[in-house]
Amino acid sequence: MANVVVVGAQWGDEGKGKIVDWLSERADVIARFQGGHNAGHTLVIDGVTYKLSLLPSGILRPGKLGVIGNGVVLDPWALISEIEKIEAQGVSVTTENLVIAENVPLILPVHQDLDRLREDAAGRAKIGTTGRGIGPAYEDKVGRRAVRLADLADPATLEARLDRLLAHHDPLRRGLGQPGIDRDALKAKLEEIAPKVLPFAAPVWKLLAERRRAGDRILFEGAQGALLDIDFGTYPYVTSSNTLGGMAATGTGLGPGSIDFVLGIVKAYTTRVGEGPFPTELDDAVGQHLAEVGREKGTVTGRDRRCGWFDAVLVRQTCTTSGVNGIALTKLDVLDGLEELKICVGYELDGSRVDYLPIASEQQARVTPVYETMAGWSASTAGARSWAELPAEAIKYVRRIEELIHCPVAMLSTSPERDDTILVTDPFAD
């Protein structure tokens, strides 16, 4: 059976939550493979809005198994809080429909402290983190001093992990003018949360392999977007994990041969939250239109998103680095009513034409977009569920995007509602 990876192909906020939820009806297992609670998904189902950060989107569907893989960094307190909120909306979360990789690294209060302290100290050089401890937690993971979920069940191992953790963090805190970590208080917090999260722990790599052999369909759910990837994003204004399609394999322990289709989620325009380059950003009435009609505020942070024209150069680049087989184009309806539309088809840099975003930060800041102009449409695309319901100009816009990014549109989303989706190619088709 086909297994599908869903990744963002821009700077995040592309509408992955709705698409994953829509696809999860066809899947048996939905697995998160990177990121933390610094990014969120907003889903609207039967008029009810759900906001998820850590829980896989498929948790909203009965009979599906949600998985949090080892590539995620997990704040156990945020997880329990999210479970309680979603249960208050009538969604049950138990060990029957949620499992967490036993080797997942934990985000601790010290990580959040360090995140905010360093960002404050950076001043104008800040990178715009969410302050939720994601980066410091990943640093401790690769520094081999992380507390992992399974450690909460082993007192001796937990003691050793805390020794190594404090040996690193205490000097850092003193250098920032802060007192050292209260070890006893931290240990007590971990011992208190342990019985609430340990029941979900499992060898996810083994479980997924068994489910795959049994013929179950697995949907791998990414967070953020490819332009925030630690290696291929607009560094240093990126997240602290790999957000590309290939991370689905290492972030769950299931090999790359298990991936059959990579679906890239792409907005019909471009947005980003926080600092960093943005070649097609608009500071005019059109940018304001996109922000207002698209309701462009971060699900987790509530920060206003910067808005701009569709950048085909960037999406073509991310489709390549993530191995995207097809895209899901979202928020087409936000463009309704605009007389003309522009698509970035290249960049100018120091008098030369370039067809990709340079890796050097100072060059990224200096590129200027080369635009192609297309006619807009006055009719509404909102809620369309077939090509026949779309204006001719909207179809031309979609087809031109396909040509420019060298990748076909597999799905088209025309509203936040689950069923307002046009399916062109079923990613789960065998």
DSSP string, 104-135: PBBP-HHHHHHHHHHHHHHGGG-----SSSHH
Global confidence as pTM? 0.92
Q: Cβ atoms within 10 A of the Cβ of 87, count?
A: 12
The predicted pLDDT at position 122 comes to 67
The predicted pLDDT at position 301 comes to 61
The predicted pLDDT at position 27 comes to 95
Q: Are 122 and 102 in contact (CB under 8 A)?
A: no
Distances (CA, A) of 182 to 110, 147, 173, 187, 374: 10, 16, 12, 9, 60
The predicted pLDDT at position 288 comes to 94
Q: Once rounded to an integer, what is the mean pLDDT over residues 123-148?
A: 86
The predicted pLDDT at position 43 comes to 74
Write the CB contacts of 351 (distance below 8 Å, at least 6 apart in sequence).
none
Name the most confidently modeled range: 7-21, 94-108, 164-178, 415-429: 94-108
Q: Are 33 and 71 in contact (CB under 8 A)?
A: yes
The predicted pLDDT at position 125 comes to 62
Q: Once rounded to an integer, what is the mean pLDDT over residues 160-180?
A: 94
Q: Are 404 and 316 in contact (CB under 8 A)?
A: yes
pLDDT digits 0-9 by tens, 231-281 = 999 999 999 999 999 999 999 999 999 999 999 999 999 999 888 999 999
Beta bridge partners of 269: none
Write the CB contacts of 403 (distance below 8 Å, at least 6 apart in sequence).
none
Phi, psi of 366 (to 5 degrees): -105, -10
Q: Tell whether the model's pLDDT for residue 23 goes beyond 80.
A: yes
The predicted pLDDT at position 377 comes to 97
Q: Tell whether the model's pLDDT for residue 302 goes beyond 70.
A: no
Q: Once rounded to an integer, what is the mean pLDDT over residues 89-110?
A: 96
Q: Once rounded to an integer, what is the mean pLDDT over residues 347-354?
A: 96
According to DSSP, residue 9 is labeled S
Beta bridge partners of 72: 35
Least confident segment among 116-125, 337-346, 357-366, 401-410: 116-125
Distances (CA, A) of 55 to 32, 83, 157, 202, 363: 8, 8, 27, 16, 38
The predicted pLDDT at position 24 comes to 87
The predicted pLDDT at position 218 comes to 97
Which residues are designated catalytic? 13, 41
